[in-house]
Amino acid sequence: MAAKRTMLWLLVWRALRLRFQRVSVVFAALMVGATIVTALSAVWFDINTKMSEELRTFGANFYIGPGHGSGMPQQALQTILDQAPQGLVYGASPWLYGMARTELEKVVIVGVWFESLQKLVPYWQVQGNWIGVSFDDRNAMIGIKLAERLNVQPGDNIILVDHNQRKNLQIKGIVEAGDATDNMLIVSLEVAQAWLHQPDKISHGLLSVSNDVGQVENYASRLQAQYPDLEIRPIRKVSASEGQVLDKIKGLMGLVSVVILALSSLCVNTTLMAIVGERAREFALQKALGASNGDIVRQILLETCIIALAAVVCGWILGYMLAQLLGLTVFNAAISLRWPVLPITLTLSLLVAILAAIVPVRRAVSIEPAKVLKGE
Gap between the Cα atoms of 355 and 264, Å rounded:
11
- Provide the pLDDT for residue 202: 95
Query: Can you say whether residue 325 is alpha, beta or left, with left for phi > 0 and alpha for psi between -120 and 50 degrees?
Result: alpha
- Provide the pLDDT for residue 328: 84
- Provide the pLDDT for residue 276: 84
Q: What is the DSSP pairing of strand 139-143 with strand 165-176? A: parallel
Q: State the 10-residue block means of pLDDT for the chain, 376 residues long.
A: 68 76 90 93 80 62 87 93 88 93 90 89 89 87 94 92 89 91 94 92 91 80 92 72 70 89 91 85 80 84 90 94 88 81 92 91 81 64
- Determine the length of the chain: 376
DSSP 8-state code for residue 186: E
What phi, psi does 338 have (nearest 5°)? Answer: -80, 150
- Provide the pLDDT for residue 210: 81
Q: What torsion do the CA atoms of 47, 52, 55, 59 make, to the nearest 10 degrees? A: 180
3-state secondary structure of 31: helix
Q: Residue 358: what residue type?
A: I
- Provide the pLDDT for residue 3: 63
The answer to whether the beta carbons of residues 194 and 148 sit under 8 Å apart is no
Q: Domain limits of the chain?
A: 2-54+244-374, 61-234
DSSP characters over 239-258 = HHHHHHHHHHHHHHHHHHHH
Closest CA to 242 of 90, 69, 75: 90
Closest CA to 64 of 243, 216, 182: 216
Q: Where does residue 264 rank: exposed (0-12), middle (13-18), buried (19+ CB within 10 A)?
A: buried
Task: Report the chain's C-alpha Rg in angstroms.
Answer: 34
